[in-house]
Amino acid sequence: MYISSGLFIVVLLGLFSVVVTMAWRSSSNSNSGLIEQLKRNDIIKSTVVEQAMLLTDRANYVYNHPYLDAPQLIGYDATISAPHMHAYCLTVLQDVITIPNAKILDIGVGSGYLAVCMTKMNPSAKVYGIDIVPGLVQYALKNVMKQDADLLNSGRLVIREGDGWLGIEGEDKFNAIHVGAAAESLPRPLLKQLALGGKLVIPVGQQGEIQTLIEVRKLSDDDDDFNKAYQVKSLLSVQYVPLVKDN
């Protein structure tokens, strides 16, 4: 769930300048036009990401200005990220999303858009989308049913209520985990739920301060030595809403 002010932070720091300078020019009046603009502006660089986003019409997930390359309110004090951020995160995770029979977790499923894109990137993958807000879970399910009910009916996509700080305990480990809200620190349960070689993409930082989108790759199962078990990479500065804890 991405807030537009994060774009200005990125500009000030000079990070990820291509996205910042080109993103606002990517808006269009159609889904295909939006994807074409993102591709033309060098934000979408992958055919796999391009096809998944082409097949997932944002108008099914955003009621107002679906093809504007900016965050949009979706209710419950939540937003859907700007299309360029979705394209960026899908690109970062592509190598693990496309593993045969990959297991994928989208935390803060919100409108359901990104979870559907992930499912369409890999026909053999199983994708779980969770959200702590029951109303958003129902909203996501309603949106997916408009055009992609087969994903739910086949079990390839599961959307349910859950605490993002805890992930989904008791499942096999995940090849890819995406978190759409900012945590003050890396949630330990999510690290433990990564499969060997898997990736976690998560914004980390305090609300109202500069946050960092972080990529974590699991290198070994030796969780006692963090530096050996995980490779951490800072990607860019952002500003997201907080990852809510279940009290």
Provide the annotated active-site residues: 81
Beta bridge partners of 2: 240
Q: Are strands 126-131 and 157-161 parallel, antiparallel or unpaired?
A: parallel
Q: Are strands 194-204 and 211-218 parallel, antiparallel or unpaired?
A: antiparallel
43 near 87, Cβ under 8 Å? yes
In this structure, which amino acid lies at residue 204? V
Show the tokens assigned to 54.
Answer: 């082409």
- Cβ atoms of residues 105 and 174 within 8 Å: yes
* Cβ(193)–Cβ(175) below 8 Å: no
Cα-based distances in Å from 92 to 5, 61, 96: 22, 22, 9
| 179 CA to centre of own chain | 6
222 phi/psi in degrees, rounded to 5 = -85, 80
CB atoms near residue 238 (< 10 Å)? 26
Contact, 196 vs 221, CB < 8 A? Answer: yes
